[in-house]
Chains A and B, each alone.
Chain A
Amino acid sequence: MENTVRRVLEILERDARTPPADIGAMLGVDEAEVRRTIQECERKKFIRRYKTIVDWEKTGDDSVLAFIDVRVSPAREVGFDDVAARIYGFPEVVAVNLVSGGYDLQVTVRGPSLKDVAMFVAEKLATIDRVNSTTTHFLLRRYKEDGEVLVEPEEDRRLAVTP
Chain B
Amino acid sequence: MRVSRVVDSIPPSGIRRFFDIVSQMEDVVSLGVGEPDFVTPFRIREAAIYSLERGYTQYTSNWGLLELRQEVARLLARRYGVEYRPESEILITVGVSEGLDLALRAILNPGDEVLIPEPCYVSYSPCALFAGGVPVPIASDAGTGFRVRIEALEAAVTPRTRAILINFPNNPTGATLRRADLERLAALAQRRDLIVISDEIYADLTYDGEHVSMASLPGMRDRTILLNGFSKAFAMTGWRIAYAAGPPDLVAAMTKIHQYTMLCASIVAQKAALEACRNGEPEMEKMVRQYDERRRFFVKGLNDLGLECQVPEGAFYVFPSIRSTGLSSEEFAESLLMEQRVAVVPGTAFGASGEGHVRCSYAYSIDSIREALRRIERFVAGRRNQVDRGTEGQRDGERADERAGPERKHAAAVPARV
Measuring CB to CB, which residues of chain A are less than 8 angstroms from any residue of chain B? 7, 10-11, 15, 18, 22, 25-28, 154, 156, 158-163
Contact between chains at A163 and B300 (CB < 8 Å): no
Does B13 sit within 8 A of A, measured CB to CB?
Answer: yes
Query: Is chain A's interface secondary structure helix, strand, loop, or mixed overall?
Result: loop
Contact between chains at A160 and B293 (CB < 8 Å): no
Does B197 sit within 8 A of A, measured CB to CB?
Answer: no
Which B residues touch A162, using CB under 8 A? 15, 19, 32-35
Contact between chains at B123 and A160 (CB < 8 Å): no
Contact between chains at A161 and B13 (CB < 8 Å): no
Within the assembled complex, what's the spacing in Å between the Cα atoms of A159 and B19? 8
Which B residues touch A22, using CB under 8 A? 297, 366, 370
Contact between chains at A7 and B289 (CB < 8 Å): yes
Which A residues touch B296, using CB under 8 A? 25-28
Contact between chains at A161 and B22 (CB < 8 Å): yes
Which A residues touch B349, using CB under 8 A? 163
Which B residues touch A7, using CB under 8 A? 289, 293
Q: What is the CB-to-nearest-CB distance from B359 to chain A, in angstroms, rounded to a whole number?
A: 9
Does B30 sit within 8 A of A, measured CB to CB?
Answer: yes
Interface string of B367-398 (1 = CB under 8 A from A): 00010000000000000000000000000000
Which of A11, A28, A156, A159 has a CB less than 8 Å from the CB of B37? A156
Does B294 sit within 8 A of A, measured CB to CB?
Answer: yes
Q: What is the CB-to-nearest-CB distance from A86 to chain B, in angstroms, rounded to a whole number?
A: 41
Contact between chains at A163 and B293 (CB < 8 Å): no
Which B residues touch A158, using CB under 8 A? 33, 35, 37
Within the assembled complex, what's the spacing in Å between the Cα atoms of A163 and B293? 23
Query: If A7-B289, A18-B366, A154-B39 touch, does A160 touch B33 (CB 8 Å cutoff)?
Result: yes
Which A residues touch B28, using CB under 8 A? 160
Q: Identify which of A160, A162, A163 gathers the most chain B CB atoms within 10 Å of its CB.
A: A163
Q: What is the CB-to-nearest-CB distance from A33 to chain B, in angstroms, rounded to a whole number?
A: 14
Within the assembled complex, what's the spacing in Å between the Cα atoms of A158 and B35? 8
Closest to B25 in A: A160
Contact between chains at A27 and B30 (CB < 8 Å): no
Which 6 pairs, one residue from A and one from B, show the smallest C-beta to C-beta distance? A161-B32, A26-B293, A25-B300, A160-B22, A161-B19, A163-B122
Which A residues touch B239, using CB under 8 A? none
Does B18 sit within 8 A of A, measured CB to CB?
Answer: yes
Which of A27, A156, A163 has a CB less than 8 Å from the CB of B15? A163
Q: What is the CB-to-nearest-CB distance from A113 to chain B, in angstroms, rounded to a whole number?
A: 37
Within the assembled complex, what's the spacing in Å between the Cα atoms of A156 and B19? 16
Given A26-B297, A160-B32, A163-B13, 18 other A-B contacts at CB below 8 A?
A11-B293, A15-B366, A22-B297, A22-B366, A25-B301, A27-B293, A28-B296, A156-B37, A160-B22, A160-B23, A160-B30, A161-B19, A161-B32, A161-B345, A162-B32, A162-B34, A163-B15, A163-B171
Contact between chains at B121 and A163 (CB < 8 Å): yes
Q: Identify which of A18, A25, A161 gathers the most chain B CB atoms within 10 Å of its CB.
A: A161
Within the assembled complex, what's the spacing in Å between the Cα atoms of A101 and B78? 41
